[in-house]
A and B are shown apart, each in its own frame.
Chain A
Amino acid sequence: QKEVEQNSGPLSVPEGAIASLNCTYSDRGSQSFFWYRQYSGKSPELIMSIYSNGDKEDGRFTAQLNKASQYVSLLIRDSQPSDSATYLCAVTNDYKLSFGAGTTVTVRA
């Protein structure tokens, strides 16, 4: 079993809709959880981090964490064409960051 699993996608959503991305992790000792965005041919960049159970909102992005279910999600509201990218879920334990394979999102104009 991989440490971090994401819904494989690709995910296609119309402009203005909500994109929902899911991630599960296997290590119950994981401490912090992240969503990175990666445009094609570019390096990953951090867009959201979450540490405690519940929701965390930042602009059009909402991260949700449920440690009991070992589940992290990312909602992108009012999706824009500029949100078209691969989204990587990442989980940290001490110094090591484990990544999921990523979900590719395409926002249709």
Chain B
Amino acid sequence: NAGVTQTPKFQVLKTGQSMTLQCAQDMNHNSMYWYRQDPGMGLRLIYYSASEGTTDKGEVPNGYNVSRLNKREFSLRLESAAPSQTSVYFCASRIGTGSWETQYFGPGTRLLVL
């Protein structure tokens, strides 16, 4: 039981390049999330998927697209990377509701855009 896994762990891109960040969870959770974390900004929600087949925008969706491939996998794509997208990206999955809710986070992907 690996929990939430993310690939790659580190990536350096040049401005204008594209890439896809992969996320998978083996806990059979319905909801999955993509966040970015910048110094002094906390975690900001990019996109989320409440269930397989649905995706919705979060707080900072511009420049990103997502795919909920199946219940396990939720990918984040940068079509044309910009230096402002340099950040640490976390994927998470969620179980429960209300005070029983828990989000489990992956180890993160550190992205540098030059």
A interface residues (Cβ-Cβ under 8 A, vs B): 4, 31-32, 34, 42-46, 49-52, 88, 90, 92, 95-102
How far, in angstroms, from A15 to B48 measured CA to CA in the complex?
39
Query: B45 at the A/B interface (Cβ < 8 Å)?
Result: yes
Interface of A is mostly: strand
How far, in angstroms, from A32 to B98 measured CA to CA in the complex?
6
Range for the number of chain B residues in contact with chain A:
20 to 34
Q: How far is the CB of A92 from chain B (nearest CB, A)?
A: 6
How far, in angstroms, from A50 to B108 measured CA to CA in the complex?
26
Once A43-B106, A43-B107, A97-B33 are accepted as A-B contacts, the answer to whether A92 and B101 lie under 8 Å apart by CB is: yes
Q: How far is the CB of B88 from chain A (nearest CB, A)?
A: 9
Q: How far is the CB of A22 from chain B (nearest CB, A)?
A: 15
Do A99 and B99 have beta carbons less than 8 Å apart?
no
Interface centre among B31, B103, B106 (most CB of A within 10 A): B103
5 A-B contacts, Cβ less than 8 Å apart? A4-B42, A32-B98, A51-B98, A88-B42, A97-B103
Q: Which residue of B lies closest to A97 (CB)?
A: B103
Pick from B98, B102, B108: contact of A43, CB under 8 Å:
B108
Do A44 and B105 have beta carbons less than 8 Å apart?
yes
Once A32-B99, A49-B99, A50-B99 are accepted as A-B contacts, the answer to whether A101 and B40 lie under 8 Å apart by CB is: yes
Once A88-B42, A100-B42, A101-B40 are accepted as A-B contacts, the answer to whether A45 and B105 lie under 8 Å apart by CB is: yes
How far, in angstroms, from A102 to B40 measured CA to CA in the complex?
8
How far, in angstroms, from A98 to B40 measured CA to CA in the complex?
15
